[in-house]
Amino acid sequence: NGTDSTNATVAKFVSTPEGTALAYGSLVLMALLPIFFGALRSVNCAKGKVRKVEKKKQNNNNIALQLKSCIFFLFVLKLFVFIFSEEYINMLLSMYFFVLGILALSHTISPFVNRLFPANFPNKQYQLLFTQGSGESKEEIVNYEFDTKDLLCLCFSSVVGVWYILKKHWIANNLFGLAFALNGVELLHLNNVSTGCILLGGLFVYDVFWVFGTNVMVTVAKSFEAPIKLVFPQDILEKGLAANNFAMLGLGDIVIPGIFIALLLRFDVSLNKNSRTYFYTGFLAYVFGLGLTIFVLHTFKTAQPALLYLVPACTGLPFFVALVKGELTEMFR
């Protein structure tokens, strides 16, 4: 019986160097895409807010509320890991991210879809309006304007959502994950560099504690079937799209440094020097920090808090460049 049990045991797959390199390289590329395009779109988003001061105040309040809600949600999620059954939490998360993922992916692909259609495309306008009260006391609760192209984006995103719900395929997970990351970098705006330093510093400690101090972060990442991370199989060369031995990167390790890099790009634009020095500096610093994370991860074979390496890189190098150029005071202004 002992011999049979031993023979029946499936040996754990050991990834090849080629498969590991491909997985890590793909994760780096997927992390860079939402930061790059999200930062570019954040400039246009910020310009739109400047044109409407009242709208800007409202949006900033909404963004602050959303950020607080996300942090509270993640904190409660980590605590609930050990209280409720993993099956029920996965079911709840699947429905939650199904709705959010469809909206996020639709917003992400909308600019690309708009370029595909000719100018004479019959694009009808629609408005979804929900109000409270009547007369002078009437208050808008929901006022959403959209068009035919937006509906097409929504249909495509819904197909991806159904695919994700039914199959939990890693490609569908990554499509939603990339959409969440890009929207986060685009819409979550830091108002100044000092705030960015405080946020990154706090989450630096947070990340280190939850990875090295407890096993909660690793448990959440591995246990829950939700697009809160990007994944890429290390055995894709052997098993193709059915591969299941994943390397992973949390979305927080993309969005948190990403919103700071987007701030650097908006600072470049504000200088009116036709230069993107600080944006490219922060972008290269992110590549270096993520590469260092992967190197340490591969060397010690244990989970690493990516912000431990990303935060010093993404803040230190741009500050050094600003100090050399004599623009450090202006940057913090």
Question: pLDDT tens for residues 265-278?
Answer: 999 999 998 889 99
Residue 245 has pLDDT above 60, yes or no: yes
Name the pLDDT band for 54 (thresholds 50, 70, 90): very low
Q: Exactly one of 150, 235, 253, 268 is catalytic; which is it?
A: 253
94 pLDDT band, cuts 50/70/90, is confident
Given a cut of 80, whether residue 79 has pLDDT beyond it is no
How far, in Å, CA of 20 to CA of 165, rounded?
28
pLDDT of residue 120: 82
Q: What percent of the chain has pLDDT above 70?
A: 84
Q: What is the pLDDT of residue 7?
A: 41
Angle (deg, nearest 10), helices 17-51 and 277-300: 150
Average pLDDT over residues 253-260: 95
User: What pLDDT is recorded for position 200?
Assistant: 94
Letter string b/e over residues 37-65, b meaning 16 or more CB atoms within 10 A of that residue's CB: bbbebbbebbeebeeeeeeeeebeeeeee
The band of 6, judged by pLDDT with boundaries at 50, 70 and 90, is very low
pLDDT at 201 over 60: yes
pLDDT at 13 over 70: no
Angle at the Cα of 282 from the Cα atoms of 28 and 290, rounded to 5 degrees: 30
Q: How much is the pLDDT for 82?
A: 63
* pLDDT bracket for residue 310 (50, 70, 90): very high
Per-residue pLDDT at 8? 40
Annotate 88-146 with DSSP letters as a single string.
HHHHHHHHHHHHHHHHHHHHHHHHHHHHHS-TTS---EEEEEEEES-GGG-EEEEEEEE
- Measured distance CA(278)–CA(264) in Å, rounded: 6
- What number of helices (H) and strands (E) belong to the chain? 13, 4
Q: Which of 43-52, 91-100, 163-172, 196-205 has the lowest mean pLDDT?
A: 43-52
86 falls in which pLDDT band (50, 70, 90)? Answer: low
Res 318 pLDDT > 90: yes
Give 48-94 as a DSSP string.
Answer: HHHH-HHHHHHHHHHHHHHHHHHHHHHHHHHHHTTTS-HHHHHHHHH
253 among known catalytic residues: yes
Predicted confidence at residue 53, as pLDDT, reads: 43
Residue 70 pLDDT grade (very low, low, confident, very high; cuts 50, 70, 90):
low
In the 8-state DSSP scheme, what is residue 234? T
> Of the segments 11-20, 130-139, 291-300, which one has the largest average pLDDT value?
291-300
**What average pLDDT does this structure show over 195-206?**
93
Q: Would you call 147 a catalytic residue per the annotation?
A: no
Q: Which residues share a beta bridge with 145?
A: 127
Alpha helix stretches (DSSP H) within 146-232: 148-167, 170-187, 193-208, 216-223
Cβ atoms within 10 Å, residue 258: 31
At residue 240 the predicted structure's pLDDT band, cuts being 50, 70 and 90, is: confident
- Choosing from 150, 207, 235, 268, the catalytic residue is 207
Q: What is the structure's pLDDT at 243?
A: 86
Taking CA atoms, 119 is separated from 44, 116, 167, in Å, by: 22, 10, 37
Q: What is the band of 155 on the pLDDT scale with cuts at 50, 70, 90?
A: very high
**Cβ–Cβ under 8 Å, residues 184 and 45:** no
Confidence category of residue 72, pLDDT binned at 50, 70, 90: low
CA distance 89 to 215: 18
